[in-house]
Amino acid sequence: MSYKMNIGILSDTHGLLRPEVEKALSGCDHILHAGDVGDQDVLDRLERIAPVVAVRGNMDTGSWSNSLPVNEMVEIGGVFFYILHDLYHLDLDPSAAGIHVVVTGHTHQPEIFQKDGVTYLNPGSAGHRRLNYPVSIGMIDSINGKMSARIVEIDL
Q: Which domains does the chain have, with CATH numbers?
A: 4-153 (3.60.21.10)
- At residue 41, φ and ψ (nearest 5 deg) are -60, -35
Alpha carbon separation from 6 to 97, 109, 147 (Å, rounded): 23, 22, 10
- At residue 72, φ and ψ (nearest 5 deg) are -150, 140
- In sequence order, the 6+-apart residues with CB closer than 8 A to the CB of 69 are 55, 56
- Across the chain, mean pLDDT equals 95
pLDDT at residue 145 tops 90: no
The pTM (predicted TM-score) of the whole model is 0.96
pLDDT at residue 25 tops 70: yes
pLDDT band at 3 (very low <50, low <70, confident <90, very high): confident
- Residue 12 CA, chain-centre distance (Å), reads 9
Q: Is-contact 74 50, C-beta < 8 A?
A: no
